[in-house]
Structure 1
Amino acid sequence: MSGSLRSLGPLEGAVAYSPVQHVLLRGVIGGGTATGTDTRDSITQPALFRTRQWEASLGTYWRPGPAVLLGGFAGYGRGRGAHDYLRRSGQRGVWFQPGPDSVWAYRYEAQYRRLFAEAYVHWRTEPFFSGGASYRINHVRFSRYTNDGAAIGFRQMWRHEPVVFLRMGEEEGLEDWIAGQLSLGCTFAPGFHTPTERAGNRDLAEARKTLPFVTVSVMLRPHQIWRRFQSR
């Protein structure tokens, strides 16, 4: 089981269980509210992010060598999210003198479901440090997508998520029951290029923009705790 905090806002909890060798069941639930900033037209404004989601997946794993672990998951999830921010648009007067500003409020809300597939490699070279990478493909279908309550004609998209990670913790030893992980990644819509900042394009670009993220995770291994308890 693990708990994770992502820079994009949500706090996530995950549980993975292997009922038989080479088979993994995984459930993830997450959510939260975060404040930050959003830069539009070179102007930074406060922003609010809200997320709530869950997913369930079936996976597999195998070891082609003693230091390498390969695996993958496929699954289904549902969620809802919101993104609120203000945009200040400065107008120019005669002789390029600053004129009055206009403030535009954007309140995006979405409900969605998604199918996803993920592959990963985990490589251990040191007793305490290991690293790896994963690649995830999501097909997201919106049941509701609005800006300030008005429906947006955007129903589905593909999102890709490449991630690299560094894990700290023993696989065998006195402290094999706990580990920490730092992950760096991004989420993007392939083939999409952010259009010029015009009102007609902004709504369609909102869900498909590229977002980098950092995730800090703490992982607990209850089976190792139970094994140690039984050996006493």
Structure 2
Amino acid sequence: MDRFIRSITVSGSVMVILTGCSLYAPLQPSAPLIHIKGEAEVVASGYFSGRVEGSAAYSPLKYVVVRAAGGLKTNGTDSLYYRIRQLESSIGTYRRLGDGWLLGAMMGYGLGKGGARYYDDFQKALPDSVPLRLYRYSFRKPHVEAYVSHQSRWTTVGASCRFSQVRFANFTDRGQPVPLHRMSRLEPSVFLRLGGADVLPWLQGQVVLSLSMAAGGRTHSPDKAIYAMKMEPAFTSFGFVIYPHRFKE
């Protein structure tokens, strides 16, 4: 009985994930708040689903910023799960516009892989049954993005938009190839950072709201695997930002 209850619970959590969002869960678009050469920031974020991300950005030259980011999600047991791991790097430029405004643009390249195994419905979540869905995939992802922000004494608000082309190295359902080789995504986001000023100038809290949409506007497919990959999820993340260059302030 305990095994049956665990199967129902894990199956339900995985199904909620997969019915509420895509198999593809991108890293949140970057918007590093770097204004001059020598500045840096380190960001750590988490999602309600349990997915976590981290990134670091630095300006080695005037108007130049480089960034590296990664994220992972592990969930469930060996028999029922949803997992994804990603890494990316990017380079870009920024420009201060005065009165607290910052404008920037970046381009980069990422890698990722993931998988999910779950029952199609709860009636089949029995100890001796076999999951009907077993997705495995890996991808490469070039992307470009632009962002804008406004900083005041205690808050920073901003928005960004990323265009990505996800290129699948492999995508299978129960070991059978899925006929989806690439997809284009448009990923807008808005964010709010709080804190800093005279108390802890090197630390801010952060909230990010983002979407991942099919750039072509077509998500429906009779193939369940393609539909699960092309869904258009919304994400909310919470985290903190550390600015190492402000430690001495």
Q: Distance in 2 between matches of 1:75 and 1:7?
A: 27
Q: Is the aligned partner of 1:59 residue 2:92?
A: yes
TM superposition shift of 1:154: 1.0
Moved over 4 A (4+): none
Give the TM-score normalised by structure 1: 0.79
What's the CA shift string for 1:32-74, capped at 9, x where partnerless? 3135xxxxxxxxxxx7320111001001111112211111110
Kindly report which structure 2 residues correspond to 1:117-156, keeping only aligned pairs within 5 A, or say none: 117-124=144-151, 126-156=152-182
Kindly report which structure 2 residues correspond to 1:209-224, keeping only aligned pairs within 5 A, or say none: 209-224=231-246
Give the TM-score normalised by structure 2: 0.74
Structure 1 stretch displaced more, 153-162 or 102-111? 102-111
Structure 1 stretch displaced more, 60-69 or 26-35? 26-35
TM superposition shift of 1:131: 0.8
Structure 1 residue aligned with 2:230 = 208
**Helix, strand or coil at the partner of 2:93:** strand
Q: Is the aligned partner of 1:26 residue 2:85?
A: no
Q: Distance in 1 between matches of 2:156 and 2:109?
A: 29
Residue number among 114, 119, 144 corresponding to 1:81 in the alignment: 114
TM superposition shift of 1:111: 0.6
Q: Is the aligned partner of 1:10 residue 2:51?
A: yes
TM superposition shift of 1:104: 6.1
Structure 1 residue aligned with 2:140 = 113
Q: Distance in 2 between matches of 1:8 and 1:183?
A: 14
Residue number among 160, 163, 187 corresponding to 2:186 in the alignment: 160
What's the CA shift string for 1:59-107, capped at 9, x where partnerless? 11111122111111100011101122222298xxxxxxxxxxx996211
Query: Whose strand proportion is higher, 1 or 2?
Result: 1
Gapped regions of structure 1 (runs ≥ 5): 36-46, 91-101
Q: Distance in 1 between matches of 2:114 and 2:89?
A: 18
Q: Distance in 2 between matches of 1:30 and 1:104?
A: 26
Q: Percent identity between the aligned chains?
A: 33
For 1:121, give the aligned amino acid.
Answer: V
TM superposition shift of 1:173: 2.9
Q: Distance in 1 between matches of 2:173 and 2:231?
A: 16
Contact 1:50 1:82 in 2 (8 A): yes
The size of the alignment, in residue pairs, is: 200
For 2:115, give the aligned amino acid.
Answer: A
For 2:118, give the aligned amino acid.
Answer: Y
Larger RCO (CA under 8 A, 6+ residues apart): 2
Q: CA RMSD in A?
A: 2.2
Q: Distance in 2 between matches of 1:120 and 1:54?
A: 20
Contact 1:8 1:213 in 2 (8 A): no
For 2:191, give the aligned amino acid.
Answer: F
Q: Distance in 1 between matches of 2:116 and 2:146?
A: 29
